[in-house]
Each structure stands twice: as C-alpha cells, then as structure tokens.
Amino acid sequence: MSPPIHHTFGPLANTRHMLSASGLILRPWRWRSGPATAALARGMETCMNAATSSPKPAVSLWGSGREALLVALRAIPAQPGDEVIVQGYTCVVVVNAIRAAGLLPVFVDIDPDTLNLDPAEVEMAVSPKTRAILCQHTFGIPGPLRELKEICDAHHILLIEDCAHILPDDARPSGIGKTGHMAFFSFGRDKAISGVTGGALIVREEAYRAAVQKQAEEAKPLPRSVILRLLCYPLLYVLLRPLYGLWIGRAMLALAGKTGVLVPILTRREKEGSMSPAVTTMPNACAHLALKQLHTIRTINDHRRMLTRFYLEEIDRREWRIASKPDDTAHPYIPGRITSDLPLQKFPLFVPGAERIRQQLKKQNIHLHDGWTGCVICPPAVDASALGYKDGQDPDAELCGTQILSLPTHPGMTHQQALKLIEAIEQHLNT
C-alpha cells in the first residue's frame, strides 16, 4: 500500500520532528518556557532583517498566527467600527481577529493572477474609516506590496502583511514580510514551517511597539495539557499516516480527533465567527520544533520550488489547454504570477469540476481537501454572510473557491507522488 498524497496529514511532520516532539514530551519543564522562544525570536529577526535598510524589526511570539494578528490590530489607534480591508478568499480566523479587535472587515475582490488583493479594487474600497490593509501572500504567491504600500502611504493607512503561507529565505530577494508596517507569520501544522502551533509578529514602526509589549506582558501560557496534546501531533501523524489507506489508520486518527488527543486547528466557535480576546504565549516546546525547521528553511523552500517547477513543466508538457482567465469553459487555468522560483505552500490549479475530481481522487488515496475549497471565507463550514460578506460581492474570490484544485508542495510530498498526482488528474480531466 502506497502512502497517501495529502495536504493536511502532518505535512511537516517527519521522523526528526517526531523524535524532537518525543524528547520534549519527556521534559515537561521545557514545555512552557526555555531557551527556544528567545532563539526563535532571534532567528525570525535575522530572517526579516537580512539585506534590508529598514529599521530593525521588533519580534514577538504568540500562541498562533491569528493571535499575532489580533495583537497587531489592537495596537492600532482606532475607534470601534473602523475598517480593515481584507480579501475575499481568506481564512475565517483572519476575519475573526479583525472582529475581535472591534474593527469591521471590508471584503475586496482578488486578482485571479495572484489570488491576492486587487489594488484597483482596494483603491475604491478605501474610506475615511479604513485603518489597515491586510496583504495575504496567498499560498506563498507574493501580494502586490508596492501598489498597496503606495495606497497606504497616500491615505495614512497601515499595511499589515499576512505571511501565514510563506517564510522567505535568502534564495531570492523579496520584500515579503519587510514592506508592511507590521507582518505576522504562522507556525501552524501545515504552514511554511511548523511548531504545531505558534505565530510571530514583526513590528517595524516604533509607534506600535509599546502597545504590543503591553499585550505580551498580559499574555498567559497555554495549559500544560494542551501543550502535551500538541506534542502528540507529530507522533500520531508519522506513525498512522502510512496506514491512512487502510480502515485502521483512518479509524485511529478519527478516534484521536474525537477524543481530543488531537487539538483541532479551528474550534466550533471559531467556525461560527468568534475568537477569544485573551492571547497566549508561544510554548517553548513549539518554538523548539519551529526553530529546528527555521534552520532548514532553505531546504524546505527548495523542495517547494522543485515541486512548483515540476508541476509547471508537467502541465506545459501535457499541453493542457490553459484558459487566459478562470471562467466556466472546460480549460484549466494557472494564476499568471506563478513562476518556478516560488516556494509555494501549495500549487493552485483551477479546473471546472474541481470538487468532482477531488472526490474521485480520494478513491486512489489522494486527499486534496484542505479547507480552502467551496468558500470565500474558509473553510466551507463558515457562514460568510454572518461575517458581513454579501453573496456575489467578490466574484473572482467566489470562482476561485469553486474551481481550485490545489496540489501539495510540502516536504513530505515526493517527486514520484507529484507525477502520480498529475497523471491521475489528467485521467479525470479526460473523463
């Protein structure tokens, strides 16, 4: 039985990660505090400081990326009801953080070539109440930073970069994480690197540092029982993932989820649109795991670049008739900004009938459901209208949710699996 092809079954959990987590389970005194948090903050500072002339950033670590965003938004001087511009086709936790900060999300459509905010639409959405624009770098595709920065400068608005899907390395100079007034990163389990949970906030403007520092002093540590469950995540996935094609593997992972051994990525309340106002510190144990991956970021990103290049070549070689924009014709579409030098978190391909193909692929032990399908505020269980999104408001974001078929690029995805996946999709496109 071959191992599953997947997005979400511990994509960054490998044997080394599992051994580190096992070692940490045996050292409970290192779960909450220890040297790893300071080392990770220094590592992120180096990563975000390299080759820039901008002022030295202040780095703080939080229990998750969504908490880092909440802290950033609460540091902005604003009145209740002030607005934050965010793209359609985003994650519910982003919208929840905006609302938890007492601000109003204003949804703006995406540019199908970048899956990021369309600057022309942003310009039209800016109002005297706009306090910040969130630039998402969806799946690691760089957002239109220059254009958004110009809009922000012209209107005295803050640019916050959502780098949850990307951690740039030194292979290619980029402004990602270095252009906005603030930027945040996620160390969640399926992000650029993983500490199972965690987030970093980078503040470049002196003016916001005190408000962030104050929140850091008030942040509470996660309960030890939660940290223990988080540390079980790499163990469970490394041991059970190869068995996913058999009922026993699926049943054991389902049991771990049902009994709460696995900490859910999203709680029921988060899916319903709320977020706790209390923020937490990043556990030292999670920082330890994330730091090990930060040390190998070039290797991880090179692997993602290799698969991005491979998918581009295979699609090209097959002469799939590619549409010039996503629409209802029967041709696949690739966002125009995807180039082979991008370390994508996942490779977005658009095909009509994407959901049908995903369902068919499951029978071949290929699992491409990642929560970013069939929704504008993801995952699909979220009621977007309850969060202020009006149906039809962002047509390109809606089409993206309907037609996307994302292909994995994570370090556990092999070249052979990528070829098998392309061949399987080809077969389904032809039927």
Ligand X SMILES: Cc1ncc(COP(=O)(O)O)c(C=O)c1O
- Residues in 149-168 at the binding interface with ligand X, rule: CB under 6 A: 162, 164-165
Q: CB burial class (10 A; 0-12, 13-18, 19+) of residue 406?
A: buried
Rounded to a whole number of angstroms, the minimum distance from the CB of residue 271 to ligand X is: 12
Using DSSP's 3-state secondary structure scheme, residue 154 falls into helix
**Residue number with CB closer to ligand X (199 or 412):** 199
Rounded to a whole number of angstroms, the minimum distance from the CB of residue 65 to ligand X is: 3
Closest CA relative to residue 134, chosen from 210, 170, 168, 83:
83
In order of 24, 315, 329, 422, the CA distances from 318 in angstroms are: 47, 5, 18, 10
Interface with ligand X, residue 188, by CB under 6 A? yes
Rounded to a whole number of angstroms, the minimum distance from the CB of residue 128 to ligand X is: 27
Interface with ligand X, residue 195, by CB under 6 A? no
Interface with ligand X, residue 66, by CB under 6 A? yes
Rounded to a whole number of angstroms, the minimum distance from the CB of residue 2 to ligand X is: 29
Other C-beta atoms within 10 Å of 69: how many? 29
Contact of 107 with 388, CB cutoff 8 Å = yes
253: DSSP letter: H
Query: Which one of the spans 58-66, 229-237, 270-278, 397-405 is the region binding ligand X (CB under 6 A)?
Result: 58-66
Interface with ligand X, residue 370, by CB under 6 A? no
Helix (H) or strand (E) holding 206, with range, is helix 206-218
Rounded to a whole number of angstroms, the minimum distance from the CB of residue 91 to ligand X is: 4
Extended strands (E) in 122-264: 130-135, 158-163, 182-186, 199-203
Rounded to a whole number of angstroms, the minimum distance from the CB of residue 152 to ligand X is: 19
Helix (H) or strand (E) holding 317, with range, is helix 297-317
Interface with ligand X, residue 369, by CB under 6 A? no
Interface with ligand X, residue 280, by CB under 6 A? no
Interface with ligand X, residue 410, by CB under 6 A? no
Rounded to a whole number of angstroms, the minimum distance from the CB of residue 372 to ligand X is: 8
Exposure on the CB side of residue 185, measured as CA atoms within 13 A: 28
**Residue number with CB closer to ligand X (168 or 332):** 168
Extract the tokens encoding 71. 């802290």
- Residues in 250-269 at the binding interface with ligand X, rule: CB under 6 A: none
**The one among 60, 136, 281, 406 contacting ligand X by CB under 6 A:** 136
Rounded to a whole number of angstroms, the minimum distance from the CB of residue 227 to ligand X is: 16
Dihedrals phi, psi of 68, to nearest 5 degrees: -60, -40
Interface with ligand X, residue 199, by CB under 6 A? yes
**Residue number with CB closer to ligand X (199 or 352):** 199
- Residues in 80-99 at the binding interface with ligand X, rule: CB under 6 A: 90-91, 93-94
**Residue number with CB closer to ligand X (93 or 384):** 93
Please tell me the distance from the alpha carbon of residue 323 to that of residue 10, in angstroms, as a whole number.
33
Closest CA relative to residue 78, chosen from 211, 179, 270:
211
Interface with ligand X, residue 105, by CB under 6 A? no
**Cβ-based neighbours of 365, under 8 Å, separated by 6 or more:** 1, 2, 4, 5, 244, 245
Extract the tokens encoding 393. 């408001």
| Interface positions with ligand X (CB under 6 A) | 64-66, 90-91, 93-94, 136, 162, 164-165, 186, 188, 199
